[in-house]
Amino acid sequence: MTIQVLLADDHKIVRDGLRVLIERCQDMQVIAEAEDGRKALQLARKHKPDVVVMDISMPGLNGIDATRQILEEVPGVKVIALSMHSDKQFVDGMLRAGAVGYLLKDCAADELIQCIRTTLSGRVCLSAEITGLLVKEYLQPTVDDVIAAGVNISPREREVLQMIAEGHSTKNIADSLHISVKTVETHRKNIMEKANLHSVAELTKYAIRHGLTSV
């Protein structure tokens, strides 16, 4: 049986390289490519791939929230994060969203292929650096971890927060998410109250710190 793979990365040169790498394997096929998280969600709904290889820092909808939504809507799909980020907030965000693999973009080609096979067999696949990070964080939780755990921001609020941090206007956010301007303003107000933030600058810093964007 051919393993069907969806690629999600905002750099075409990266997607082109991954396609060549993956399709060297006779039992693997890249069935679709997405340049951002929202497109990845649409293509996952349409094609129902076996595996999604997901970048994290993408415009509009980041890989963390795209992963969460894909796993809610496409049963059985496996998501592998392939990112330049080894920071705790990105790793933690992807794994909490349901990703079963996390590799860094400087990994060897064979490592990605093996990771695809590993996740399809029902196991988790993490690079050695990521495993070390998780062990360290487990043994030494930070003050930020405790604070973040108490802030309950909804998936829709996360989408709004990312777009605010990326500099989108309220109207543009409303149009992109198919909601009213008033609803966007309500989401922004709720986020600021929940996270005790008082300005767009603080919202942006919060979004970056928690892995929603790398702006």
Kindly report, residue by residue over 2-30, the tens digit of the pLDDT. Answer: 999 999 999 999 999 999 999 999 999 99
Q: What is the pTM of this model?
A: 0.72
- Can you give the CATH number for the domain in which 160 is found? 1.10.10.10
Q: Is the pLDDT of residue 150 over 70?
A: no
State the CB neighbour count (10 A cutoff) for residue 141. 10
* 129 plus 183 within the same structural domain: no
**Domain for residue 215, yes or no?**
no
136 pLDDT higher than 90: no
At residue 152, the pLDDT reads: 79
At residue 88, φ and ψ (nearest 5 deg) are -55, -40
> What is the three-class DSSP state of 176?
helix
**Residue 148: pLDDT above 70?**
no
Same domain as 189, residue 106? no
Q: Are 93 and 17 in the same domain?
A: yes
Q: Using alpha carbons, list the distances in angstroms from residue 209 to 24, 34, 55, 165, 190.
A: 38, 25, 17, 11, 18
User: What are 168-186's pLDDT values in tens digits?
Assistant: 888 999 999 999 999 999 9
Q: What is the DSSP string of 59-103?
A: SSS-HHHHHHHHHHHSTT-EEEEEES---HHHHHHHHHHT-SEEE
Residues in CB range of 105: below 8 A, 6 or more apart: 14, 82, 83, 84
**Domain boundaries, position 194:** 145-209
- For residue 197, the model assigns a pLDDT of 86
121 and 35 both lie in a single domain? yes
- Total of domains in the chain: 2
Residue 118 and residue 196 in one domain: no
pLDDT range class, residue 115, cuts 50, 70, 90: very high
Is residue 52 helix, strand or coil?
Answer: strand
Domain ends where: 88, 113, 139?
Answer: 139
Domain identity same for 87 and 155? no
pLDDT tens across 27-37, in order?
999 999 999 99
List the CATH number of the domain containing 31: 3.40.50.2300
Strands 51-54 and 78-83: parallel
8 & 86 share domain: yes
